[in-house]
Every structure is written in structure tokens, then in C-alpha cells.
Amino acid sequence: MNDPPVEPLPIPRKKMQNDYIHEWLPQKEDFLHILLELEPPPVPRICKIYCMHQPLLCTNCCHTRHEAHPFHRIQQWTGDFFKDCALHMTGLQLHLGHGGAPCPSASLNELPPFSEKSRHATAGKAVDDGEWEDMDNIPLHLQPPVGAKYLTIIDVTGVHFILVRACQCPNATSYHMQLFHAKLCPSTFEKPSTAFTFSVLDDFLRDNVECGMSGMNYYSKLRQVTSNVFPHLVVDRYQELLWVARQWCLLKLLKWNGFQDNKNCSKDRDLAPVIPMYVV
């Protein structure tokens, strides 16, 4: 007796753009409702200890909780709405060496004390050459700290002005090497004023290779990330990005070659048990 013919399984149709839109439309109102709920401060207005789910923090807690996350973008409640703000306005400083703790050998007078005056003072350095803008209308997070040694740091989260304290121990390495140990690539080796995070350099290389994005377009995106209302007021570090990215690409290649060499040399060695550890 012959078996009945087996019906072939239908081939699932590949989803098209319209299919995704039809799936999204029924959820549109729910998404919009959540976005609108996130506009006002949470209820009750209590200080929380984490960064998930848009917590509301007082100035001191915002400073303390972000000592390990100095490149987060924050907003400040004005009483009517949230406006863009910067962590340096909370008094946040970046300490090099000693695991992020202040250097015990550093002079207390190395940096002027952070004051309310420096927090709100205007600074024309934030404006590109040739641009004119009413200084009273420039958002505070686009104005670098006044009266203190700060570093312009470019990250995937945008352009930041960070007050940096170097390690002053007798055996401390040079300033630019301390920056590199903190996963910051300085644009120059002598008195660097700009640095790029490892994350932003990796992100730029990926966008350049996979998406064909030019350095100019990538930095334009970072300006929009920093301020989508006043991107033209964000400091221009496009040329420095290209220079540092070339160095970074070469270092990555050298690192991979060195890793392969060390891997081949260690094949016959007795290795200790691997203990799970993580880096962020």
C-alpha cells in the first residue's frame, strides 16, 4: 500500500516593512503614553541609587553614583521641565590612578575648588570659531567649567567637559599615559586638552568599515547626540578624531599580532585554573 503524498510545509513569507509597521501601529499609543509619563519627575520624588529606569537623584547622589560612569548624560528638573545638564556641574571629577580614588600625593590646591560660580559661568570656548550666539542662550552643559583644568572628552554619549586630577605620586607615569590607562586616548602627548574613549574609537571604526561613514559624518552625529538643538555650538574635534582613530587602528592590529604571538608561546605552559572575572 502506497503512503499518501506528503504535503510540503509552506515556506514562511519574509516580513516586509509594511508588516513591521502593521505590528507596531497597535502599540503606538502605549509607547507614546510611556514617553509622556517619562517627561515629569517620578512619583514619589525620592533619591534613588541606580541609573536604570530614569531615576531622580539629588546633586550629591548624582555626583557619587556617577563617579564610575562619568560619561552618562543627565538632565536637571527646572520646576517646569527637564533640561540638558552635565555631570561636571555636579562637581564630578575624574581621578587618574588609584582605582579612580583621589591621589594621596596630590596637592589640595591642584585644582581650584568647584563653586556655584564656576558651575554657571559662561565660557566662549564652547562656541566654534566664527559662530555667534547670545551667550545667555547657550545651554550650560555646552559650557566648559571656568577656572579649573578640564579635559574635553569625546565618548559615544557625546562631548563632555571633565575636570581631571592626575596622579602626583613620585613614580607616576606621564599625564598622557595615565589617560591611556583610564581608557582615554589623548590627541596629543604634550599637555593634552582632548581625549577620546576607547568605546568611541571602536564605534567609529565599526561605522566606518560596516556603514562607510566618514569621520566628518560620524562627528556630526556626536554633535547631535550632545545637543540636537544646538549642534553647531558643540566644540569641533573632527580632525583630532581622524588622527587618533588612525593611531587606534594601528594599535589594535599590533595588539592582535602580539596576542597571537603570546598565545603560541604559552601553549606548552601549565596554566592556572581560570577564575571568571569581568570588565566593563
Q: Express each pLDDT in 201-214 by its tens digit.
A: 999 999 999 999 99
d(CA 269, CA 144): 52
Q: What is the structure's pLDDT at 113?
A: 40
Question: pLDDT-derived band of residue 152, with 50, 70 and 90 as boundaries?
Answer: very high
The C-alpha cell 506528503 sits at 6
Range of the structural domain that residue 165 is part of: 93-106+139-261
**At residue 270, does pLDDT exceed 80?**
no
160 assigned to some structural domain: yes
Between the ranges 26-30, 34-38, 45-49, 221-225, where is the mean pLDDT highest? 221-225
253 assigned to some structural domain: yes
**At residue 265, does pLDDT exceed 50?**
yes
Q: Where is pLDDT greater, at 9 or 254?
A: 254
The C-alpha cell 564652547 sits at 126
Burial of 249 (0-12, 13-18, 19+ CB in 10 A): middle
d(CA 165, CA 95): 5
Q: How many structural domains compose the chain?
A: 1
d(CA 182, CA 173): 12
Contacts of 89 (CB under 8 A, 6+ apart): 76, 119, 140, 141
Residue 40: closest CA among 72, 80, 11, 7: 80
d(CA 197, CA 88): 17
228 assigned to some structural domain: yes
Element spanning 185, H or E? strand 184-186
* pLDDT average, residue stretch 111-130: 41
Of the candidate ranges 3-7, 28-32, 146-150, 194-198, the one whose mean pLDDT is the lowest: 3-7
178 assigned to some structural domain: yes
Q: What is the structure's pLDDT at 252?
A: 83
114 assigned to some structural domain: no
Q: What is the structure's pLDDT at 73?
A: 84
277 assigned to some structural domain: no
pLDDT in tens, 53-86: 677 888 788 877 777 788 888 878 888 878 888 8
128 assigned to some structural domain: no
d(CA 79, CA 267): 63
177 assigned to some structural domain: yes
d(CA 133, CA 129): 11
Q: Where is pLDDT greater, at 196 or 116?
A: 196
